[in-house]
Amino acid sequence: MQIQSDVKTLQRIASFVDEDQSIRLSSNLEGRFGMTLFTRVSRFCFRPAVRCAIAATILCAASSSSQPQATQNPSSQSPPTTESSSNPSSQTPPSGESSDLIRAKPEPEKPIVLLPKFFSQAARKGIYFHAFLNEELAANPSGGIDQGATASQYVTFGTGIDLERLIGWRGGALHAIVIALSSNGLSLNHIGGGIDVQENATPFNLVRALNFTLEQNISLGEKNNLNLIAGRVGATPYFMGNDLACLFMNHAFCGMMYGFYQSTLSSVSPAPSWGGRAKFNVTPKTYVEFGGYAIDLNTVQASTSIFTWNTRGVTGINYLAEAGHATTLAEQNKPHYFRVGVSYVDGPRPDVLLNTNGLPLFQFGGTPLSHYGETAFYATGAQVIQRTDRASRRNVALFGSIYYNFADSEAIKYAIKGGVVKTGTFGKRPGDTLGFAVSPVAFTDKQVEFLSGMRAKGGGVGRVPSHEVVFEANYGYRLASGVVLRPNVQYIVNPDSRYTPTFPRDIPNVFAVGLQINANLDALFGLPHH
């Protein structure tokens, strides 16, 4: 859910008078959203990390007892859609199941709870309900500024309405999804930096309209080959998706291209703004799409409410264009998807190092120098490299992506991620996954100079590292229909100091353990789907 606006660096735009606090806020933006719901569980976790995992498993079993095939979070989760299923290349299934690229469509399973007839009756009229729960536990036995264990969690719920079935509006649909987040991020509170080990970590609790959009399908030669969607929405459910990357918990992998929000300040889930997108399926396997999303500084303020939908905080527009080609397991024995795109910020951007007088902010303070426009390029893809036959869910797939920022005034120069996912590791576990991924991230010279200057202010010496590398290995255990437990181990080389910029020395490399619990309540309770 990525949640996934990395928050509050926005305040560095307003003031650098208190540089120490300003940078912590800036790093919060680079880092992600945080939460704090199961407070007692978090405290319980501060001792042996095993107790943390046990406590969370009990809590989630009591509340849901199910798990989805894929790691779904607000930053990667698409709302329910009536889009043509001939091209799933730019959307993640709303059910929480992972892309058809890595497994065949799940076999129907009997839900554990028999729901009232209300839900099936509503579905016959075109009204569908959705709910999803995510819990991420993490601890760092070694490395970081100190050791600890924390819990972060969120729940999404809402409805998708088929307007054609309900009122005869041909090709129309309405989506309304709410997200509630509560977090206590490990990277923020104990590691002191580095890319968040919990993808759902956020610096403040929030309840927001994750998605409130009107969708329209139009047939131009082929059925429903033009899709339009507009409303309160983030850019990332529709652009720069990498489905396999969301089978990992670290923020470097799951969610949007790491660096996108930090470089553009574009509103993304779970703090969307006004925006829209047009997607045209050139062929059943090829598409192009274009979108524009308001850069609204108010969306990442803790005081913003679920219905704060004015435009007073808008400072610019982020325009995106993407083209892609995709095949599915049903079409090929070894399917793939490839996507390339660009983003351009039509608005002001603050310099990470200089003030309006061209002097270093860490030394002289003041207001950041403003630049107009910011351009970035990205590419992402995946390829199945081994699969016995089309009837099998078992396969091995590679994935990778790159986000490259052309502006030297930003914090992140480029971010790369890549890995391998094996589905169906053991004979009687066809739906389980085994994954390994690595992500190197490079910072601009200006960011390095700024953080080095802040280190000197804290009494330290030397230059901060310009590169950071994240590793993760995990196992996705399919516990029940819609429920996945994903234990993982992570290692971070050269954790950055964006959360603690005045820390006087390099933060020690981090070894972290985690447990991600995803519960797709749609599948668990057998909610009808379009």
Q: Which amino acid makes up residue 131?
A: A
pLDDT at 80: 30
pLDDT at 172: 95
Cα dihedral across residues 188, 198, 368, 362: positive or negative: positive
Q: What is the DSSP letter of 380?
A: E
Q: For residue 527, how many other CB atoms are within 10 A of its CB? A: 21
pLDDT at 139: 98
Q: Crossing angle, helix 445-457 and helix 19-31, to 10 degrees? A: 140
pLDDT at 211: 87
pLDDT at 263: 81
Residues 6+ apart with CB under 8 A from 135: 56, 59, 60, 151, 152, 153, 516, 517
Looking at domain 11-525, its CATH class is mainly beta
pLDDT at 27: 36
Task: Map residue 323 onto helix, strand or coil.
Answer: strand
3-state SS, 87-148, equals CHHHCCCCCCCCCCCCCCCCCCCCCCCCCCHHHHHHHHCCEEEEEEEEEEEEEEEECCCCCC
Strands 273-283 and 206-220: unpaired
pLDDT at 108: 54
Residue 68: asked if its preceding bond is cis (omega within 30°), the reply is no
Q: For residue 224, how many other CB atoms are within 10 A of its CB? A: 18
Q: Which amino acid makes up residue 83?
A: E
Compute the chain's Rg from CA coordinates.
Answer: 22
Give per-residue pLDDT as tens, 180-217: 989 889 999 999 988 999 998 887 788 888 889 999 99
Residue 189, CA distances (Å) to 170, 406, 413, 473, 526 in order? 50, 32, 26, 23, 38
Domain boundaries, the chain: 11-525
Give the N- to C-terminal CA distance of the chain in Å, as an integer.
23
Length, in residues, of the chain:
530
* Residue 317 dihedral angles phi and psi, to the nearest 5°: -130, 135
pLDDT at 530: 65
Strands 286-296 and 483-493: unpaired
Q: What's the CA gap between 69 and 84, in Å, rounded? A: 22
Q: What's the CA gap between 79 and 175, in Å, rounded? A: 7
Supply 345's token pair. Answer: 């910020």
Strands 149-162 and 412-423: unpaired
Q: What's the CA gap between 218 and 227, in Å, rounded? A: 6
pLDDT at 10: 36
Strands 433-443 and 368-387: unpaired
Residues 6+ apart with CB under 8 A from 88: 99, 100, 326, 328
Q: What is the largest CA-CA distance in the chain?
A: 68
Which of the residues in the chain have pLDDT under 70? 1-112, 255-256, 267, 530
Q: What's the CA gap between 413 and 404, in Å, rounded? A: 6
Identify which of 136, 247, 156, 243 has the alpha carbon closest to the alpha carbon of residue 196.
136
